[in-house]
Amino acid sequence: MHPTLTLLGIESSCDDTAAAVVRLDPMGRSILSSEVEGQTGLHAPYGGVVPEIAARAHAERLDGVVARALDAAGVDLAGLDAIAVTAGPGLIGGVLSGVMLARGLAAATGLPLIAVNHLAGHALTPRLTDDTAFPYLMLLVSGGHCQFLSVEGVDRFRRLGGTIDDAPGEAFDKTAKLLALPQPGGPAVEAEAIQGDPARFRFPRPLLDRDGCDLSFSGLKTAVLRARDLLIADQCGITRQDRRDLCAGFQAAVAEVLAVKTTRALEMCQVAPTALCVAGGVAANRAIRAGLDRVAARAGVPFMAPPLALCTDNAAMIAWVGIERLRAGLPADRDFVARPRWPLDDQAPALLGSGKKGAKA
C-alpha cells in the first residue's frame, strides 16, 4: 500500500509558467490541480521564444501560478510533503526563476526540495497516467528534444538514439515561419496539413538509410524552403492550397521517419518493453500519434500517449517525479545547481550538434 504523498510541482524551463499539486494515496494517483500560464502572446512578434522575455515573465508570474495551484487543490503549504522543481535542462533564466522560488518556499516551510530533470517529467508521465510498468520504450519528442529512451527505473534511462540536429518541434516551428504561419508552429502546421495533399510534395526521409534510430530534421526543413522558393519563382507567390500541401508533405515525412525509427528502437531494446510510450509537445500531433499507434500494434505492445494537457510542458509531471523519487528512497537536496543541459543518460555519448557546453539531453 502506498503512503499518502502530496507534492507541489513547479515548472519554468521554457515559455510555460506552471504549478501543480499531485497526490499519491492508497486509492491511486490524483492531479489535484494543474495551472499553466503560457507566453505565446509575448513571443509571437519575434517568431520564437526570446529567453530574456521568458525569464522575466516567469519571475513575474510564478507566485500567482503557485498560489492558484494550491487554492485549486484545496491544499496549503502545511499540507504538502515536499516541493519538486525543474532544475534543468532548459533556458537557464527561466529555470533559475523556478528554482529560486522553490528554494524560498522550502526554506520558509522546512519542506524537502527535490530537483527534477524536465525530461524525466515527460519520460515518467506514463506512470502518472497509466501506472505503466518498467521497462518501457519512450519516444520523447518536443520542441527542444527528441530521443528514444528505454525507461528502466525511476532514475534509470538508457538512450537508444536521438536527433543529431533540429528536434521535430523546432522543425515544425521553422517550417511554420517559412510559410508565414503563426507560432507555436506545431498546431499551425497540423491545422493546414489536414486540408493538404501529403503526396504532392515528396520530401526526404532523413537517415532512413542509416542503421540505428538517430534522427535528423534540419534537411527536411531546408527541403520545404526550396519547394516554397520554387513555387514563388514559378507563380510569383504561393496559394493557400500550396501552403496546405507543403504542410501535409512535411508532416507526412516527420511522421514516417518517427514511425520507422520507433520500429528500430523497439528492436534495440535489451528487454521486451511493456509498452511504447510517447510524450512531449509534438506528441499532441494526431498524425504522429496514429503512426506510432500502428507501430505498436504491429509489434504487439500497448501504445500509451498522455492526455493532450500532459503532452506539453506542465508541472504535474514534475510533482510526479518528486513522488517517484521519494518512494524510491532517493535523497532530496537543496544545494543542487540549475542546469541548462542535463542528459538523462549520462553514460551515452553526446549527440552531434549538442554544442561546446555538452549534451543538452
Mean pLDDT (the chain) is 92
3 state SS for 162-190: EECCCCHHHHHHHHHHHCCCCCCHHHHHH
**How many C-beta atoms lie closer than 10 Å to residue 335's C-beta?**
7
Interhelix angle 218-235/168-178, rounded to 10 degrees, is 10
Q: How much of the chain, in percent, has pLDDT values that exceed 90?
A: 80
| Mean pLDDT (whole number) for 139-167 | 92
Q: How much of the chain, in percent, has pLDDT values that exceed 70?
A: 96
| Mean pLDDT (whole number) for 162-169 | 89
Whether the pLDDT of residue 254 is over 70: the answer is: yes
The residues pairing with 19 across neighbouring beta strands, listed in sequence order, are: 10, 35
Joined together, the cell numbers standing for residue 329 give: 528512497
Helices (H), 144-283: 168-178, 185-193, 218-235, 240-268
Whether the pLDDT of residue 355 is over 50: the answer is: no
**How many C-beta atoms lie closer than 10 Å to residue 307's C-beta?**
10
Give pTM, 2 decimals: 0.92
Among 41-55, 277-291, 319-333, the least confident range = 41-55
Q: What is the pLDDT of residue 116?
A: 97
Q: What is the pLDDT of residue 192?
A: 98
Domains and CATH numbers, the chain: 5-130+310-327 (3.30.420.40), 136-308 (3.30.420.40)
Whether the pLDDT of residue 80 is over 50: the answer is: yes
Measured CA to CA, the distance from residue 361 to residue 358 in angstroms comes to: 9
Q: What is the pLDDT of residue 357?
A: 36
Q: What is the pLDDT of residue 344?
A: 92
Whether the pLDDT of residue 291 is over 60: the answer is: yes
Whether the pLDDT of residue 166 is over 90: the answer is: no
Instruction: Find, among 43, 45, 41, the residue nearest to 53 by Cα.
Output: 43
